[in-house]
């Protein structure tokens, strides 16, 4: 039996960060006596004792310290501390008292460790592929060990063997986080050669745990080394002892550079490009250098002629065929003469070069011919039958290259297309008509351009008509639009005597209602039988003969359909159009 009170504790207790530390306290009392109390202490930074708790036979009295909520005492009087932090790495003392004077104690050094994340290779800043150039110090890889305590040491390995690196080739950074754990980063930079293109690199983190050395390895990475090509080969696949005209051969060009180089093939000054490995199927028999010339050069004026010449090179005799843009055959031979060009002439021509002795061997070349000229008006809305105060569209359609501009002349007032305006008709007194709003719109259909002028019909417009003028840099042309009075079938024509109206017919209006037309449209007095107005191309002339009663009687009828004497009808201004 022991002659005095003895207390024993392990010199060091290791616990993982965040875990629970158990510190045992074993003691023996002489004569198998019992203890009076057991006190647990820790030593602060000043090496002063701070009591944690006192254990008696009946209770455990915890002191008001930072450990009060995390400590507990087991049945064997061992002290347990939960949720260990790095600040718990300190000395703990167990003191046992027996009787009034017999006291013994011992102490344990509590150490805290963390395995952390071990060694892990981070992706480089430029992506998942590591790139380097021969003989240039380049960042090969970056290794990181996080949340370790104490901090880890990092070593580098190439193809499984540890590298003996100089200080300039490795940059190590240690950062202590807010929780007290360490993050260690190691950056490997070293020159590489083309032989390193298949090498694999990894890092290893070394740390102490429970008094032993432990390691953790990262994944392996392969670097992509850039280097120029040293060897270039060109081969024919499959090897042919005899190549006859018309056979196909494959040419493969290979090089050992990285990144894969771009290959350029030349065949009789014709450049062909590909990517590694280059693979081309090149017919030995070919048509090359198809070329088309236009004389005189495009653009040409309308009415002129051009000569198209086609030329090409081949080992065999060639034939030439011409067609337009729609595929219609125009001729044969290496020259094509196109005469009297117009705007409607097809603008695209194709020369197809063929080898009659080799079916399927052909090449085509297209050429465009632009025809320019002064505008040609192809349609106007004339004559146009209208009614008073009716809003109508005056239409003028032209074809021209370059694109033309439209100018409308209404009552002596010139207006350009696309501009809105109100044109005064220049009248006075009681006979003055209201102003006519004008608005022009243009529509383009291929080479044709159409201008629509919206106008409200009045007396002066009926009398004067309108003129459409179309112009471009090559010239101009114009046409007159004639407006004639018209009424739909069934409506009453205004006559000189309202009680005897004339009923209108949809036939040729000036001829079928001559009296009304002469008085209210032409503003002319009825001509005498001996006077005949001079005929004009742009005017409709109506001759009324008073000495032919039978003809007038057949033309004019009463409102009720009964025939009346012509003199009576003319004198009263009453008639009926059939």
At 275, the pLDDT band (50, 70, 90 cuts) reads: low
Q: Concatenated DSSP letters for 534-566?
A: PP-TTS------TT-HHHHHHH-B-TTS-B--H
Predicted pLDDT at 38: 92
Average pLDDT taken over every residue of the chain? 74
First to last CA, the chain: 157
96-110, 376-390, 409-423: least confident range = 409-423
- Which residues, including other chains, have CB under 8 Å from residue 229's CB and lie 6 or more apart? 255, 256, 257, 261
CATH topology of domain 288-369: Immunoglobulin-like (2.60.40)
- Which residues, including other chains, have CB under 8 Å from residue 141's CB and lie 6 or more apart? 121, 122, 124, 130, 156, 188, 201, 203, 221, 223
Cβ–Cβ < 8 Å for 104, 6: yes
Where are the chain's structural domains?
6-113, 120-225, 232-283, 288-369, 374-485, 492-572
Predicted pLDDT at 419: 32
Tokens (6 digits) for 483: 């407006």
Cβ–Cβ < 8 Å for 340, 303: yes
The predicted model gives 492-502 an average pLDDT of: 39
CA distance 192 to 196: 6
> Position of tokens 């409102």?
559
Q: According to CATH, what is the number of the domain 120-225?
A: 2.60.40.10
Nearest to 201 by CA among 184, 180, 218, 182: 218
- Which residues, including other chains, have CB under 8 Å from residue 197's CB and lie 6 or more apart? 223, 224, 225, 227, 258
Predicted pLDDT at 438: 63
Cβ–Cβ < 8 Å for 453, 393: yes
CA dihedral 227, 232, 236, 237 (to 10 degrees): -30
The larger pLDDT score, comparing residue 421 to residue 141, is at 141
3-state secondary structure of 169: helix
Predicted pLDDT at 568: 37
Predicted pLDDT at 431: 37
Tell whether domain 6-113 is in CATH 3.40.50.300.
no
At 30, the pLDDT band (50, 70, 90 cuts) reads: confident
CA distance 550 to 487: 27
Predicted pLDDT at 527: 41
Q: According to CATH, what is the number of the domain 374-485?
A: 2.60.40.10
Two domains, one topology: 288-369 and 374-485: yes
CA distance 274 to 264: 7
């Amino acid at each position: 039996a022991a002659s005095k009170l003895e207390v024993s504790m392990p010199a060091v207790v290791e616990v993982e960060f965040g875990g629970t530390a158990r510190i045992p306290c074993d003691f023996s009392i002489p004569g198998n006596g019992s203890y009076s109390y057991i006190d647990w202490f820790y030593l602060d930074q000043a090496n002063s004792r701070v009591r944690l708790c006192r254990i008696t036979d009946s209770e455990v009295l915890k002191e008001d310290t930072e450990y009060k909520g995390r400590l507990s005492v087991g049945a064997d009087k061992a002290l347990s501390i939960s949720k260990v932090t790095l600040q718990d790495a300190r000395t703990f003392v167990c003191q046992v008292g027996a009787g009034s004077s017999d006291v013994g104690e011992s102490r344990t050094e509590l150490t805290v460790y963390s395995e952390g994340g071990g060694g892990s290779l981070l992706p480089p800043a430029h992506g998942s592929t590591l790139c380097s150039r021969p003989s240039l110090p380049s960042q090969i890889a970056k290794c990181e060990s996080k949340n370790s305590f104490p901090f880890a040491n990092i070593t580098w390995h190439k193809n499984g063997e540890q590298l003996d690196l100089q200080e300039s080739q490795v940059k190590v950074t240690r950062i202590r986080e807010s929780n007290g754990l360490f993050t260690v980063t190691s950056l490997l930079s070293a020159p590489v050669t083309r032989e390193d293109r298949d090498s694999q690199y990894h890092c290893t983190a070394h740390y102490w745990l429970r008094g032993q050395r432990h390691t953790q390895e990262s994944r392996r990475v392969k670097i992509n080394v850039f280097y120029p090509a040293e060897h270039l080969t060109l081969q024919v696949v499959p090897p042919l002892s005899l190549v006859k005209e018309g056979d196909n051969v494959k040419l493969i060009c290979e090089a050992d550079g990285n990144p894969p180089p771009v290959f350029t093939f030349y065949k009789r000054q014709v450049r062909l490009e590909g990517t590694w490995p280059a693979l081309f199927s090149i017919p030995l028999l070919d048509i090359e250098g198809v070329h088309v010339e236009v004389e005189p050069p495009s653009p040409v004026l309308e009415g002129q002629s051009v000569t198209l010449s086609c030329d090409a090179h081949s080992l065999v005799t060639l034939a030439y065929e011409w067609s337009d843009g729609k595929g219609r055959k125009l001729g044969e031979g290496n020259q094509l003469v196109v005469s009297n060009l117009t705007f409607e002439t097809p603008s695209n021509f194709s020369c197809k070069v063929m080898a009659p002795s080799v079916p399927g061997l052909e090449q085509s070349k297209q050429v465009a011919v632009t025809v320019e000229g002064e505008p040609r008006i192809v349609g106007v809305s004339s004559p146009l039958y209208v009614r008073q105060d009716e809003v109508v569209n005056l239409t003028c359609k032209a074809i021209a290259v370059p694109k033309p501009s439209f100018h409308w002349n209404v009552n002596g007032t010139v207006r350009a297309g696309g501009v809105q305006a109100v044109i005064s008709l220049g009248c006075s007194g009681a006979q003055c008509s209201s102003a006519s709003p004008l608005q022009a719109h243009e529509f383009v259909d291929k080479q044709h351009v159409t201008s629509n002028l919206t106008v409200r019909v009045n007396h002066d417009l009926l009398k004067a008509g309108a003129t459409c003028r179309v112009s471009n840099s090559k010239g101009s042309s114009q046409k007159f639009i004639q407006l004639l009075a018209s009424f739909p079938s069934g409506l009453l024509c205004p006559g000189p005597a309202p009680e005897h109206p004339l009923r209108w017919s949809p036939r040729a209006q000036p001829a079928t209602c001559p009296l009304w037309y002469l008085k209210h449209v032409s503003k002319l007095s009825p001509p005498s039988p001996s006077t005949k107005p001079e005929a004009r191309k742009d005017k409709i002339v109506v001759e009324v003969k008073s000495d032919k009663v039978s003809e007038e009687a057949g033309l004019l009828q009463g409102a009720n359909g009964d025939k009346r004497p012509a003199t009576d009808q003319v004198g009263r201004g009453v008639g009926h159009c059939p």
